[in-house]
Structure 1
Amino acid sequence: MQTNINSVLKNLGILDLNPAYSTGNTWGGKANSVTIDSYSPVDGKKIAAVRVADKEDYETVLTQAETALIFWRNQPAPKRGDIVRQLGDALRIHKEDLGTLVSYEMGKSLQEGLGEVQEMIDICDFAVGLSRQLYGLTMHSERPNHRMYEQWHPLGIVGIISAFNFPVAVWSWNAALALVCGNVCVWKPSSKTPLCAVACQHILARVLKQNEMPEGISSLLIGNATGDLINNDKRIPLVSFTGSTRIGRKVSAAVATRFGKSILELGGNNAIIISKDADLDMSIIGAVFGAVGTAGQRCTSTRRLIIHEDIYESFKNKLVKAYGQLRIGDPLDQHNHVGPLIDKDAVDMYNQAIGKGKTEGARFVVEGGTLTGDAYNSGCYVKPCVAEVENHYEIVQEETFAPILYLIKYKTLDQAIALQNSVPQGLSSAIMTLNLREAEQFLSCAGSDCGIANVNIGTSGAEIGGAFGGEKETGGGRESGSDAWKGYMRRQTNTINYAATLPLAQGIKFDL
Structure 2
Amino acid sequence: MQQVQATYVDATWAVGGGAELEVGSAADGRVLARFRGADAQDVDRACAAADRAWDAWAATSVGERAGLLRATADLVAKRADELGAVASLEVGTPARMASTVHGHLVAATIRDVATTLESYAFEERVGTSLVLKEPIGVAAAITAWNYPLYQLATKLVPALAAGCTAVLKPSEIAPLTTVAFFEALAEAGLPAGVANLVVGTGAEAGEALVTDPRVGIVSFTGSTRTGARIAELAAPGITRTTLELGGKSASVVLDDADLGQAVSASLRGCLINNGQTCAALTRLVVPRSRLAEVERLLVDAVAQLVTGDPRDEATDVGPVASAAQRERVLGHIEDALAQGAVLVAGGPGPVDGAPAGGHYVRPTVLRVEPHLRIAREEVFGPVLCVIAVDSTEEAVAVANDTDYGLSGAVWSGDPDRALAVARRLRTGQVAVNGGAFNISAPFGGYKRSGYGREGGRFGLEEYFETKAVQL
Q: Matches of 2:134 and 2:97 in 1, distance apart?
A: 36
Q: 2:160 aligns with which of 157, 160, 179?
A: 179
Letter in 2 for 1:180: A
Q: Secondary structure at the match of 1:311?
A: helix
Matches of residues 53-64 of structure 1 in structure 2 within 5 Å? Answer: 53-64=38-49
Q: Matches of 2:315 and 2:134 in 1, distance apart?
A: 47
Matches of residues 191-270 of structure 1 in structure 2 within 5 Å? Answer: 191-208=172-189, 213-224=190-201, 225-270=204-249
Q: 1:133 aligns with which of 95, 119, 130?
A: 119
Match of 2:453 in 1: 478
Which ranges of structure 1 fall in alignment gaps of 5 or more residues? Answer: 3-14, 142-146, 497-512
CA contact (8 A) 2:309 2:318 kept: yes
Aligned residues: 468
Q: Matches of 1:107 and 1:352 in 2, distance apart?
A: 20
Letter in 1 for 2:82: D
Matches of residues 28-427 of structure 1 in structure 2 within 5 Å? Answer: 28-29=14-15, 34-116=19-101, 117-136=103-122, 138-139=124-125, 141=127, 147-208=128-189, 213-224=190-201, 225-371=204-350, 375-427=354-406
Letter in 2 for 1:328: T
Q: Matches of 2:121 and 2:7 in 1, distance apart?
A: 35
Q: Deviations over 1:191-215 (max 9, x none)?
A: 111211111111111212xxxx531
Q: Secondary structure at the match of 1:131?
A: helix
Report the CA distance between 1:370 and its aligned residue: 4.2
Task: Evaluate the alpha carbon distance shift between residue 284 and residue 24 of structure 1 in structure 2; reply closer, same or farther with a 3 A threshold.
Answer: farther
Letter in 2 for 1:274: V
CA contact (8 A) 2:161 2:460 kept: no
Match of 2:442 in 1: 467
Q: Matches of 2:81 and 2:15 in 1, distance apart?
A: 29
Q: Matches of 1:395 and 1:217 in 2, distance apart?
A: 43
CA contact (8 A) 1:371 1:379 kept: no
Identity of aligned residues (%): 28
Q: Matches of 2:126 and 2:30 in 1, distance apart?
A: 65
Report the CA distance between 1:300 and its aligned residue: 1.0
Q: Matches of 2:105 and 2:337 in 1, distance apart?
A: 38
Letter in 1 for 2:58: R
CA contact (8 A) 1:370 1:381 kept: no
CA contact (8 A) 2:84 2:95 kept: yes
Q: Matches of 2:55 and 2:126 in 1, distance apart?
A: 33
CA RMSD across the alignment: 1.8
Q: Matches of 1:456 and 1:482 in 2, distance apart?
A: 26
CA contact (8 A) 1:24 1:201 kept: no
CA contact (8 A) 2:94 2:317 kept: yes
Q: Secondary structure at the match of 1:462?
A: coil
Structure 2 residue 438 is the aligned partner of structure 1 residue 457: no
Q: Matches of 1:122 and 1:214 in 2, distance apart?
A: 23
4+ long deviations beyond 6 Å: none
Greater mean deviation of Cα atoms: 220-229 or 428-437 = 428-437
CA contact (8 A) 2:217 2:241 kept: yes
Q: Matches of 2:10 and 2:347 in 1, distance apart?
A: 45
Quick check: which has more Rg, 1 or 2? 1
After TM superposition, the score normalised by the length of structure 1 is 0.88
Q: Matches of 1:92 and 1:150 in 2, distance apart?
A: 37
Q: Matches of 1:163 and 1:228 in 2, distance apart?
A: 15
Letter in 2 for 1:467: P
Q: Matches of 1:253 and 1:273 in 2, distance apart?
A: 35
CA contact (8 A) 2:116 2:457 kept: no
Report the CA distance between 1:464 and its aligned residue: 1.0
Report the CA distance between 1:347 and its aligned residue: 1.2
Q: Deviations over 1:144-166 (max 9, x none)?
A: xxx42211000111111000111
Q: Matches of 1:457 and 1:95 in 2, distance apart?
A: 27
Letter in 1 for 2:277: R
Q: Secondary structure at the match of 1:473?
A: helix
